[in-house]
Amino acid sequence: MLYRIVMATNNQNKLREAKKILSPLGIDVISQKDAGVHCDPNENGQTFEENAKIKAGAVYDIAKQPVIADDSGLCVDILDGRPGVYSARYAPDGEKCSKLLDEMKDIPDEKRMAYFECCIAFIDENGECHTFSGRCEGKIGYEEKGTNGFGYDPVFVSGDKTLAEMSADEKNKISHRGAAMRELYKYLKESYGE
């Protein structure tokens, strides 16, 4: 079936999620480091799609094999969509949730709506780029809860739990990256399936 796809990341959490979703197709997803690619492209796009394409293109140019890259972030309605494409640079690691909670400390429950958005860029063996996107709607809680997940997961509430309180399977069913990955999965199954 399909071979190997390089994921333009060294983030083990993202890699694990991608492997879990794509492995039923017989796809081996490896990190860019494992593919011998060492680059840190300048993500200066204005949208998640532009940034995903920048990352995928930079890794593809070196690896010369199929690549997936994602860009995603948290968009908070009352903050005019911030942190958005700057989610990773909003605050230092370990301080993102506390900064967001502080910024939203006086915001009432009905105005705490937010969503995660993800765009995945897949560059196939011919160098053609295809994009897939997904969203996860929810709201910002009042405190960090849960130890699973990463990034803003401890403050993002979907249903009655934060993403960090969910198991990996529960999160993959509703997450923005999970939704985008399922779109990619469908495309790969149709394009490369038996």
Report the catalytic residues. Answer: 71
Token pair for 133: 């996107």
- Edge-to-edge strand order for the sheet containing 113-123? 28-31, 4-7, 67-76, 113-123, 129-140, 156-158, 161-162
Q: Phi first, then psi: what are they for 135, rounded to 5°? A: -135, 150
CA distance 189 to 164: 30
Token pair for 66: 């199929």
